[in-house]
Structure 1
Amino acid sequence: MIEAPVGDPIRNLITPRALSDPASAWEPFRSRGGLWWSETLDSWVAASLSDCSTVLSDADRFCSDWRRLGEDTPVSALSVQTLDPPEHTAVRALLVHAFRSLGWDDLRRSTADNAERRLAALADRPSFDFMSEFAGPLALDTITGVLGVGLPDESRFVAISADIVDSMDYALRPETVEPGRAARGELAELAGRWLGERTPGPGERGLVGRLAASRRATDDVSETVLRNSLRVVLHSGYESASRLLGNAVLACLRSPGTLDALADGVTDAALQELVRCAGPVQAEARGCVRDTDVNGHPVRRGEIVTVLVAAANRDERVFDDPDTLRLDRHPNPHLGFGRGPHACLGAPLALLLTRTALGALARRHRPPRLLGEPVFRRNVTLRGLHRLDLGRG
């Protein structure tokens, strides 16, 4: 067993410096080969791109559904996020079909109009908080529009959404477990009401109506799993998308000339590089379902492997000059949207939102400038900003 260095560096990831400066945060991990043991997490830790890819890609050996290890998982926790194939396959297929049938051209136009309108309203202000006054509201507008539902009470939604993200760091912050469980239940109840109230018709264009119709047409997915999965879509569509947008804008502002380079268009390569450098997902966990090895390192059934996505995305053996934002980087095999059967379902939506908002910012005659130090939320698993003050350029 390879022990972590004295003073397990996992604990350092939740410090303000680590959250603000990813390069320094992941320096102790990114050149590591092989798995090592963290007493803090009570798990093996993978940090290289090769090891992390192996674990995330192989649902036969590594599970997201802890019932496969004999754990008693309440039905309220079962969703597209926590189920494994074949149960996972059925609910993911419903969601993928619903996403693909959206009117993506209309969605692009409406998101662009929304972004321009919000920026115009902020244009004459000497300063504004990008997260609470732009990124968060834009993401919430977008995901509720995709779902085809009305906006929830924003202040309440933001609070319970934050509780869920906090609870993802339960190993470092045990006090977040119960608030997170309650928050997931509250969002699931909201999703259940949406499904129950919707009478799908031939003109239905939102995800909720399409899923309600699918639920009536098949018995492959239970109502509880569908409701919980809709809760995941709502939460991820808000938190992951708004955090990606905030992190990406900050990365651009910290790299002189980057916003100017995006004025003529945000390319696919630029988007992927921003996900690699500034993506919010920092870590995931999988359980080992049978004695096996990860690239030669033995792992026993029942042991957990924590995958450090952000470290893998800065693996010096794969990415040349990994701390530098290179908008034309190619190839770019990052893990910012995961890998394997649990790869991010909403990646196209998050990319659409980021491309649209960044393009709108870059095209402005006077792009914004950074005012003061950004304030990060105290979250390791899903890194994101609490406040990002911007001013007129």
Structure 2
Amino acid sequence: MTRHSDCLSVLTDSARFASDWRRAGEDIPAPLLSVQTLDPPEHTAIRHLLLDGFRAQDRQALHDTMEREAADLLAELALRPSFDFVGELAEPLALRFITAFLGVDAPDQAWFVPMSRTVVDGMDAGLWPEKHEPAVSARARLAEYAGGWLADPPKDGLIAYVAQHAESAAAAGVDRAVLRNSLRVVLHAGYESASRLLGNAAAALLTTPGALTAFRRAPLAAAVDELIRYDAPVQADARVCVTETELSGVTIRAGDPVTLLLGAANHDPLRFAHPTELRLDRAPNPHLGFGRGAHACLGASMAIRLAGSVFTTLARDYPDARAVAEPEHRRNLTLRGLDRFEVTLRPHTGEEELS
């Protein structure tokens, strides 16, 4: 599916299009069963627990802290001739952000980032089957890591809330292994969504003439939404049809896999005027960058606020920020993101050369 309307129809119809492939007779490894892969009604209790935990947190205090950290980090990086926006800003900031929300210390970046990337690589195992088993193992290791949080929970944060309500969740039918896997999903998906959003948005703003200036003038929410639509971290998703149905004149049979090319849907000319242009004041903007329906991204609003804080500071305090090399993308299809992006926050002097 490439059309916006078709992708939206599938995303919002979990009765006919399943995220849980067991409904089509597939055998799913235990480490893959989580809030991300279950469907209602099994999915409902675990999602409600996590949503209640999200709402119980002091998100304003978290964002205030992260805004200060982002400003401090940018000030430090501004002293250097250039730096890697991905490895030195987007990734460490995203990891600090999601673990602070969870209420735990950030893991060693040198251990966590390769593990996280292995999981992402496994999302493309349909094309590269050799990536499947390493990704399953990485998910299991991350789930084991997350399971330690439940055994010895922190005093504050989402983990503390989930641990406090684990018994009532179990009574509602939430399996503890699924709960542990779901916390792994929050850690991994939160980190990957935020870090890739920051990297992709930086590339758009710093390689499109006049975009950083336009960002300062545009309504913040509209600008961030447009950056997500223009180059979303999540480029594809998949469902399996469980009841024969017709969509846009095509018969889809039970058991058929359905691939949703969300990047294409976000550039559908039937839904977006001038879709290839970065229009930071675009409104309305019903992009599918964070999904829709039962499996819409839990932390979308938080990632949006983080991106808004980072790029507001960048545009306000460093209006001369620019790329000094082309952004380098990672070799992924399902999730889109940068491997490296060398930038400078200094004004152009005419003495530098693009590398």
Aligned match of 2:351: none
- Contact 1:167–1:177, Cα closer than 8 Å, also in 2: yes
- Contact 2:10–2:17, Cα closer than 8 Å, also in 1: yes
Separation (CA, whole Å) in 1 of partners of 2:309 and 2:177:
34
- Contact 1:263–1:359, Cα closer than 8 Å, also in 2: yes
Q: Which residue type is aligned with residue 338 of structure 2?
A: L
- Contact 2:233–2:336, Cα closer than 8 Å, also in 1: yes
Q: Which residue type is aligned with residue 157 of structure 2?
A: G
Question: How many Å apart are 1:95 and its aligned residue?
Answer: 0.6
Question: Which of the numbers 154, 158, 166 marks the counterpart of 1:207?
Answer: 158
Question: How many Å apart are 1:265 and its aligned residue?
Answer: 7.1
The correspondence of residues 250-329 of structure 1 with structure 2, limited to 5 A, is: 250-263=203-216, 267-329=220-282
1:52 aligns with 2:52: no
Give the 3 Å change call, closer, same or farther, for CA 246–365 of structure 1 in structure 2: closer
Aligned match of 2:108: 153
Q: Which runs of 5+ in 2 are unaligned?
A: 348-355
Aligned match of 2:60: 105
Separation (CA, whole Å) in 1 of partners of 2:36 and 2:152:
24
Give the 3 Å change call, closer, same or farther, for CA 196–367 of structure 1 in structure 2: farther
* Greater CA drift, 57-66 or 368-377: 368-377
The correspondence of residues 1-393 of structure 1 with structure 2, limited to 5 A, is: 46-198=1-153, 204-219=155-170, 220=172, 221-263=174-216, 267-391=220-344, 392-393=346-347
Q: Which residue type is aligned with residue 63 of structure 1?
A: A
- Secondary structure of the structure 2 residue equivalent to 1:218: helix
Q: Which residue type is aligned with residue 218 of structure 1?
A: A
Separation (CA, whole Å) in 1 of partners of 2:101 and 2:125:
31
Question: How many Å apart are 1:215 and its aligned residue?
Answer: 0.4
Question: How many Å apart are 1:332 and its aligned residue?
Answer: 1.2
Question: How many Å apart are 1:216 and its aligned residue?
Answer: 2.5
- Secondary structure of the structure 2 residue equivalent to 1:72: coil
Question: How many Å apart are 1:365 and its aligned residue?
Answer: 4.2
Paired residue total: 344
- Contact 1:266–1:359, Cα closer than 8 Å, also in 2: no
Question: How many Å apart are 1:263 and its aligned residue?
Answer: 3.2
- Contact 2:46–2:169, Cα closer than 8 Å, also in 1: no
Separation (CA, whole Å) in 1 of partners of 2:94 and 2:219:
18
Q: Which runs of 5+ in 1 are unaligned?
A: 1-45
- Contact 2:45–2:169, Cα closer than 8 Å, also in 1: no
Separation (CA, whole Å) in 1 of partners of 2:318 and 2:325:
22
What do residues 192-247 of structure 1 show as CA deviations (whole Å, max 9, x unaligned)?
00111116xxxx43011101111023322111111000000000111111001110
Separation (CA, whole Å) in 1 of partners of 2:8 and 2:151:
39
- Contact 1:266–1:355, Cα closer than 8 Å, also in 2: no
What do residues 234-262 of structure 1 show as CA deviations (whole Å, max 9, x unaligned)?
00111111001110111111222221233
Q: Which residue type is aligned with residue 138 of structure 1?
A: L
Aligned match of 1:24: none
Q: Which residue type is aligned with residue 206 of structure 1?
A: G
- Secondary structure of the structure 1 residue equivalent to 2:343: strand
Aligned match of 1:37: none
Q: Which residue type is aligned with residue 12 of structure 2?
A: S
Q: Which residue type is aligned with residue 254 of structure 1?
A: T
Separation (CA, whole Å) in 1 of partners of 2:245 and 2:99:
43
Question: How many Å apart are 1:296 and its aligned residue?
Answer: 2.3
What percent identity do the matched residue pairs reach? 52
Separation (CA, whole Å) in 2 of partners of 1:365 and 1:345:
32
- Secondary structure of the structure 1 residue equivalent to 2:165: helix
Question: How many Å apart are 1:366 and its aligned residue?
Answer: 4.4
Question: How many Å apart are 1:178 and its aligned residue?
Answer: 1.1
Give the 3 Å change call, closer, same or farther, for CA 67–365 of structure 1 in structure 2: closer
Q: Which residue type is aligned with residue 249 of structure 1?
A: A
Separation (CA, whole Å) in 2 of partners of 1:211 and 1:248:
32
Separation (CA, whole Å) in 2 of partners of 1:333 and 1:380:
22
- Secondary structure of the structure 2 residue equivalent to 1:262: helix
Separation (CA, whole Å) in 1 of partners of 2:169 and 2:124:
36
Aligned match of 2:352: none
Q: TM-score, normalised by structure 2?
A: 0.94
Separation (CA, whole Å) in 2 of partners of 1:284 and 1:362:
32
Question: How many Å apart are 1:76 and its aligned residue?
Answer: 2.0
Q: TM-score, normalised by structure 1?
A: 0.85
* Greater CA drift, 287-296 or 383-392: 287-296
